[in-house]
Amino acid sequence: MENQAHKRRVHYSGTHPKNYDEKYKELDPERYKDTVEKVISKGSTPAGMHISICVDEILSFLQIRPGQKGLDATLGYGGHTSRMLEKLDGRGHIYALDVDPIEIVKTKKRIRDMGYGADVFTAKQMNFADIGKLVEETGPFDFVLADLGVSSMQIDNPERGFTYKHEGPLDLRMDPERGQSAAERLKELDQDEIEWMLRENSDEPYAREISKEITKVYRAKQKIETTTNLYNVVDSALAFLPSAERKDAVKKSCARTFQALRIDVNSEFEALEAFLDKLPDALAAGGRVAILTFHSGEDRLVKKSFKSFQKDGIYSEISTDVIRPSAQECGENPRARSAKLRWAIRAEGN
């Protein structure tokens, strides 16, 4: 038997790990369950994990029964999917889609390790905008879920470039193997286009100042290729603010700027519109759909689509008000605070 090199654990300065790679216990939840439970109990999300939102509310509405066929249009960490599989009790099938080639492999293994084989669970790397192609293969579904939030695994991993809080490449792609990175996309846009993107995708109040500063950086032949680069540009753009309010304003504007870029790079609104247009044909008679949004623009699109199809008699019933996570859930998982849940039911005879 060959001698294997001893693999030492990650060393870090101080008493607690700060960087993503240093959080080796959180990244291995099966081995270090106590550590993961402690992190969650403090209202934080462990590195490499994602805590599903509105699970009870979603399951209550979908009314999943053994023998049904369902779709999780946004698989992510698989938290919603695993709970829906429990409801099937080994009879029926759930299909799940995800555009992320990195996370779908991990989640598929995670669900297989729970005991759910190919007879009840199928994962496909596919954008939910292509739901029509899936239905040609599977037929319509009894229930559909779409959780439009970005998974914590993507946000927390510096290599994905989803947040200004960690140094990393300015990427922001859900599928890093396709399309342009955020850094490449930003270089193509002029000042007016950047300003429009910031206003349209994230309601950024300082869109003009930030777009002007980004353009100034490029004109000076400087680069914006990392998350820190973009943070510094936003910080410079808001230098005119009083020092007492500047720090908080920079954080909020950075979060909105990254959101706007992510939506643009991944064509998220276009994908959602395509999904919503094809959704009625993906639902069996009496089929139920629940959609969880985290952005006012997403919520407007879902609300508009549901109302339009109800008016045409295609949906027999839709939610009249959004359902929000409970105060307890928001306290335990701060990322749930902006969540809004809407639902619709496919008409029986249309």
Q: Identify the residue with better confidence: 10 or 92.
A: 92
CB of 309 within 8 A of CB of 315?
Answer: yes
Taking the CA atoms of 264, 266, 272 and 277 in sequence, report the sign of the dihedral they define: positive
For the segment 111-121, what is each residue's pLDDT rounded down to a tens digit? 999 999 999 99
Instruction: Map tokens 């292509």 to a residue.
Output: 130
308 has pLDDT over 50: yes
Identify the pLDDT of residue 3: 47
| Single-letter amino acid code for the residue at 254 | C
Taking the CA atoms of 306, 261, 184 and 21 in sequence, report the sign of the dihedral they define: negative
CB of 184 within 8 A of CB of 172?
Answer: no
DSSP string, 235-261: HHHTTTS-HHHHHHHHHHHHHHHHHHH
Identify the pLDDT of residue 47: 44
| Angle, helix 296-311 to helix 268-282, in steps of 10 degrees | 30
pLDDT-derived band at 304 (thresholds 50, 70, 90) equals: very high
CATH architecture of the domain with residue range 55-153+269-346: 3-Layer(aba) Sandwich (3.40)
Domain segments of the chain: what residues? 55-153+269-346, 175-265
Q: Among 47, 251, 268, which residue's Cα sits nearest to residue 163?
A: 251
Domains 55-153+269-346 and 175-265 share a fold: no
For the segment 37-68, what is each residue's pLDDT rounded down to a tens digit? 454 344 444 444 558 899 999 999 999 999 99
Identify the pLDDT of residue 11: 55
Phi, psi of 285 (to 5 degrees): -55, 125
Report how far residue 92's alpha carbon sits from residue 90's, in angstroms, rounded to the nearest whole number.
7
For the segment 178-236, what is each residue's pLDDT rounded down to a tens digit? 899 999 999 999 999 999 999 999 999 999 999 999 999 999 999 999 999 999 999 99
Grouping H, G, I as helix, E, B as strand and the rest as coil, residue 145 is: strand
pTM for the structure as a whole: 0.82
The CATH number of the structural domain formed by 175-265 is 1.10.150
Q: Identify the residue with better confidence: 80 or 25.
A: 80
